[in-house]
């Protein structure tokens, strides 16, 4: 879990620096890989970090949210891990 947390943090930090560039050149001026990082980081914020305490995930096993975030990160490399 430590590695997964570090990867999420790294991806969110990269997204922040890419967002600064995107403000200057626009989203269209970014490379495909950078746009992918921005999409995945947004999904991590919305689906993993922004979990509702009253959703089904709040009462699920601890592995379920971690598996979800691992799949989000795997989408940056094209590999899915279940």
* Tens digit of each residue's pLDDT (9 = 90 or more) over 13-71: 999 999 999 999 999 999 999 999 999 999 888 877 776 666 665 555 555 566 766 77
Domain count, the chain: 1
Q: Would you say residue 69 lies in a domain? A: yes
Please name which of 29, 37, 31, 32 lies closest in space to residue 7, comparing C-alpha atoms. 37
What residues contact 51, with CB distance under 8 A and at least 6 apart? 57, 58, 65
Q: Would you say residue 82 lies in a domain? A: no
Asked whether the beta carbons of 7 and 73 are under 8 A apart, the reply is yes
Structure tokens at 23: 């403000």
Where residue 69 sits, what CATH number does that domain have? 1.10.1140.10
What pLDDT does 50 receive? 72
Q: Would you say residue 23 lies in a domain? A: yes
Q: Which residue range is the domain that position 10 belongs to?
A: 2-74
Q: Would you say residue 79 lies in a domain? A: no
């Amino acid at each position: 879990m430590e590695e997964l947390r570090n990867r999420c943090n790294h991806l969110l930090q990269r997204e922040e620096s890419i967002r600064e560039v995107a403000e200057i050149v626009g989203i269209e001026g970014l490379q495909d890989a950078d746009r992918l990082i921005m999409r995945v980081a947004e999904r991590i914020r919305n689906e993993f970090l922004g979990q509702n305490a009253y959703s089904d995930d709040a009462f699920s096993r601890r592995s379920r949210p971690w598996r979800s975030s691992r799949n989000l990160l795997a989408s940056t490399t094209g590999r899915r891990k279940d």
